[in-house]
């Protein structure tokens, strides 16, 4: 008898929780609808009109092509150079100079060193890139125009 009462209480509590979650979900949907109305539906239109960009569409743009090619080059270099250094050191160079102990450790360190060199090359190339297409901040542009007006 006591167990039946507990079961009824638990079932009633579960129904109350379900009703509460449904009410919260409905109020959230109403709030989103109100926000869309205030925006004039601009948010929903922007979601529908968004263009998916992937690597191939980015390469199609002349502005992005150089950057994408550079990224692809360094991706391949980052995968191939450390592996090549590891296997070259392990199979060719170290045995030719007579190193027989800890060959894998020395080869691994050379692979890590090679990966660091690739990263450094990427950073150097990124900093030496031409920045003519970067716009100046609005604050400095306003200061420049005010100084010209004073002259």
Encode pLDDT of 38-85 as tens digits: 655 555 445 555 667 777 777 777 777 788 888 899 999 999 999 999
Q: What is the pLDDT of residue 101?
A: 92
pLDDT above 90 coverage of the chain, percent: 34
Concatenate the DSSP letters of all residues of 126-150 into one string. HHTS--TTSPPPHHHHHHHHHHHHH
Is there a contact between 35 and 43 (Cβ–Cβ < 8 Å)? yes
**What are the pLDDT digits (tens) for 17-34?**
666 666 666 666 666 666
C-alpha 94/C-alpha 97 separation (Å) is 5
Residue spans of the domains in the chain: they are: 9-49, 55-130
Dist CA 107 CA 82 (whole Å): 10
């Amino acid at each position: 008898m006591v167990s039946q009462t507990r079961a009824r209480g638990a079932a009633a509590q579960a129904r109350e929780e379900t009703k509460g979650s449904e009410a919260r979900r409905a109020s959230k949907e109403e709030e989103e609808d109100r926000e869309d109305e205030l925006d004039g539906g601009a948010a929903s239109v922007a979601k529908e009109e968004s263009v998916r960009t992937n690597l191939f569409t980015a390469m199609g743009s002349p502005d992005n092509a150089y950057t994408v090619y550079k990224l692809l080059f360094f991706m391949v270099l980052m995968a191939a150079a450390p592996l090549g250094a590891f296997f070259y050191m392990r199979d060719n160079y170290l045995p030719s100079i007579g190193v027989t102990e800890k060959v894998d450790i020395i080869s691994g360190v050379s692979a890590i060193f090679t990966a660091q060199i690739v990263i450094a090359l990427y950073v150097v190339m990124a900093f030496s890139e031409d920045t003519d297409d970067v716009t100046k901040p609005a604050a400095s542009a306003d200061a420049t125009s005010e100084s010209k007006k004073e002259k």
